[in-house]
Amino acid sequence: MKLSDNKATLSFSNGRPAIELPVYSGNIGPEVIDIRKLYGQTGMFTYDPGFLSTASCQSAITFIDGDKGELLYRGYPIEQLATQCNYMETCHLLLYGNLPGAAAQTAFVKNVKYHTMVNEQMQFFLRGFRRDAHPMAIMTGLVGALSAFYHDSTDINNAEHREVAAIRLIAKMPTLVAMAYKYSVGQPFMYPKNELSYAGNFLHMMFATPCEPYVVNPVIERAIDRIFTLHADHEQNASTSTVRLCGSSGTNPFAAIAAGVACLWGPAHGGANEACLQMLEEIQASGGISKVGEFMNQVKDKNSNVKLMGFGHRVYKNYDPRATLMQETCNEVLEALGLQDDPLFKLAKAVEKIALEDDYFVSRKLYPNVDFYSGIVQRAIGIPVKLFTGIFALARTAGWIAQLNEMISDPEYKIGRPRQLFTGSPRRDVLPIANR
C-alpha cells in the first residue's frame, strides 16, 4: 500500500480543529482513508454497520470491480482461470500467489492427495449426528473437530503449521462433504481414490458404492471442477471476514475455517444456492412460467419479505461474471445428461429475462449472482439441494485459508475488535427484586 498524494481533511462544526488523515492507494480499486488514529486524535469512532465503506485489511489475493463485473484472482480474470486452469492450479495460485508450472503442479497435487483421508475416528464423531441433520450443521462440527485430530498443525503463528493445515483442509473437505452425504442416505463411506483428479475423487466419494465400479463422467468432472474454481475466493465477503476475525484471536486454522462454514450457511450468503433452487421449485409447483409475474410482484412488495434468491450482490452492480460461466456450465451439463428441456432451467432463464427488463431490478442494479444457476447444475449432477452450500464451503476453503494465512503474515494485523455507538441505558443501580 502506497501513501497517496491525495489527503483527506476532517473538519468539525463545533470548533474542534480539523485533522488530516493519510490516504493510501492500492494497485487498482478505490483509495482508502486511514482512520486508525482517529479515536486517539478526536475521541470519535466511525460508524459503518455492514462495512459499506470500510476496508478491513489490505489484501493481494482477489480483486472485484463490481461496476465492470470483473473478478480477478491474483490478477488473473476468472474467465481465463475457469476455462484454462483447474481447481488445483487455482488453489496453488490463491495460496502461493503464482500459477504453478508443471513440476510445481505435480508436487502440489501429490501433497494434497497425501492428505485426502480423514482420521478414522472422524466417522464415529459423524455418527453422533441425526441422519436428517443439515449437512452444513455437520460440516460446522466436522471442520471444527479437525483441530481435535491434527494437533501438529494448530499453531497459527508457526508458518509450517499454517502450510500443513492449509493442505489438510483443502484435501479433506471433499472427504468430509461426501461423508456427510453418504451418512444422510445410509450408504457406506467411500475412501478417497488418489488416482482420480480432485473433482473426480469427490464424485467417486459421493456416488460410488462398494458394490459396483464407478466411472467418472468427464463432463461432470469438468463441471464440478469449474464450480470449485468459481467459488474459490471472493475477497472480503462475510464468511472470509469471519475467518479473518476469528483467526485474529490466534485460534487454530481449523476453528477459524469452521467459523467461516457457519457464516456461509446463511441464505444471504452461501445458503442462497439452496434457497434459490427451493424458490424455483416452488414457482414451478405453483404453475411454472405463467406464475413468474405473480412471484415478481411479491418480490417487489416491500412488505412481503420475499427476495429473488440468486439475484443482487453487495459489490457487483453488473452481471456477476461467475453467473455467466455458471450458465455455460449449466448448458454443458444438461446437454451431456440429455436434460436440455429441464423445466427448472427454462424457468430460471424466464425469471432472469423478466427481472433484467423490470425497472425494480434495473434501477437497483440487481443482476444474477453465482448462486442463480449453480443449483440447477448441481441438481442435474445428482447432488441433493441440502448439500449445495456444503459444496460451496468445500470450494471456498482455499480462499479462506489463503486469506487467513495472508492476515497472519501481515505485520500490521491486530486482533479484530470493532467499536460501537452505545444506545442503551446509562449507568443505573440494581433495585431489590421487590422494587423492580
Q: Which is nearer to ligand CMC, 63 or 149 (CB)?
A: 63
Instruction: Single out the residue of 55, 69, 409, 61 nearest to residue 235, CA to CA.
Output: 61
CB nearer ligand CMC, residue 364 or residue 419: 364
Nearest distance from residue 110's CB to ligand CMC, in Å? 32
State the catalytic residue, choosing from 313, 320, 358, 359.
Answer: 313
Q: State the Cα–Cα distance between residues 115 and 169, nearest whole angstrom.
A: 9
Cα radius of gyration (the chain): 24
Q: Which is nearer to ligand CMC, 123 or 297 (CB)?
A: 297
Strand order in the sheet with 70-73: 62-65, 70-73, 76-77
Question: Which residues here bind ligand CMC, judged by CB under 6 A?
Answer: 237, 268-270, 272, 299, 307-314, 364, 366, 369-371
Torsion of CA 8, 12, 15, 21, to 10 degrees: -30
Give min distance, CB of 284 to ligand CMC, in A. Answer: 18
Smallest distance, Å, CB 131 to ligand CMC? 27
Distances (CA, A) of 330 to 69, 203, 256, 337: 20, 17, 33, 11
92 has catalytic annotation: no
C-beta closer to ligand CMC: residue 345 or 361: 361
Active site residue 371: yes
Strand partners, 212: 209
When the beta carbons of 57 and 117 are compared against ligand CMC, the nearer one is 57
Measured from the CB atom, is 299 or 381 closer to ligand CMC? 299
| Rounded least distance, CB 369 to ligand CMC, Å | 4
Q: How far is the CB of 351 from ligand CMC (least distance, A)?
A: 11
Catalytic residue among 65, 371, 410, 429: 371
User: What residue number has its CB nearest to ligand CMC?
Assistant: 312
Please check whether residue 179 is in contact with residue 127, taking contact to mean a CB–CB distance below 8 angstroms: no
For residues 230-264, b (16+ Cβ closer than 10 Å) or e, as one string?
A: bbbbbbbbbbbbbbbbbbbeeebbbbbbbbbbbbb
Q: How far apart are CA 224 and CA 383, in angstroms?
A: 11
Counting other chains too, the contacts that 72-77 makes at CB distance below 8 Å and 24 or more residues apart are 73/232, 73/233, 74/98, 77/321
Taking the least distance from each CB to ligand CMC, the nearer of 16 and 364 is: 364
Q: What is d(CA 59, CA 28) in angstroms, rounded to the nearest whole number?
A: 12
**Least gap, CB of 105 to ligand CMC (angstroms):** 28
Report in angstroms how near the CB of residue 62 gets to ligand CMC at its nearest. 12
CA–CA distance, 143 with 200 (Å, rounded to integer):
22
Residue 92 near residue 99 (C-beta atoms within 8 A): yes
Q: What 3-state DSSP class applies to 130? A: coil
Q: How many CB atoms lie within 10 A of CB 67?
A: 11
Q: Which residues are catalytic?
A: 313, 371
